[in-house]
Amino acid sequence: EMSDVLEKEESYKEKLEKLLRMGAKYGFHFILSSQTFTTGTRGLTTTAKAQIQLRIAMKCMEVSEVKES
């Protein structure tokens, strides 16, 4: 899963963050998908999370999923 790679590979995390920044600068949109918000963003930096302008969520089964978004 992407979050596992982000936690282990610092260079991948930096490249993804740079790509998200460049996308925001030039008007590109990215679609990131995960089964849960918590695990899907686990490895992202605060800066990378700030680049995510829109989140779409389906029904949440855990209250903690809503609080962390």
Q: State the pTM of this model.
A: 0.62
The helix/strand/coil state of 9 is coil
Range of 5-14, 40-49, 56-65 with top mean pLDDT: 5-14
CA distance 47 to 49: 5
Q: What is the 3-state secondary structure (H, E, C) of 19-45?
A: HHHHHHHHCCCCCCCCCCHHHHCCCCC
Chain segment 35-59, per-residue pLDDT in tens = 766 666 777 778 887 877 777 767 7
